[in-house]
Amino acid sequence: MTLEKPSSTEEEYFARMEAEKKKKSADAKRAQMSQTERERLKKEHWMRCPKCGLELQSIDYRGVTIDKCFHCGGIYLDDGELEKLAGQKSRLLQNIAELFKG
């Protein structure tokens, strides 16, 4: 058996399948939680880094508010902001944004 590197089309297909599966799982988990629990989690984690838990800082760039963790270096973008930053020029960023549509 020969292992060949998957084409970018195959990689995109499998990444999209994985994203759809994880979205369904997240939707199901959210549906099981109470509104009170979701509000408690939002209040507890608002503007906290999802990786290290320390505070995020906001930087405005090209009409988008980028949330940056200066402790671990992570960057967080709200829904739709990746597409806005990518514009029409970056095919790579547009492809990444399209993985999570739907």
Segment lying near Zn ion (by CB under 5 A), choices 7-15, 24-32, 57-65, 66-74: 66-74
Which of 17, 59, 72, 75 binds Zn ion (CB under 5 A)? It is 72
Q: Is 21 helix (H, G, I), strand (E, B) or coil?
A: helix
Determine, following the binding rule CB under 5 A, whether residue 75 of this chain makes contact with Zn ion.
Answer: no
Among 16, 48, 68, 71, binds Zn ion (CB under 5 A): 71
Nearest to 60 by CA among 42, 84, 88, 44: 84
In this chain, which stretch among 27-35, 45-53, 59-67, 91-99 interacts with Zn ion, using CB under 5 A?
45-53
Helix locations, the chain, DSSP H: 8-32, 35-45, 81-86, 91-99
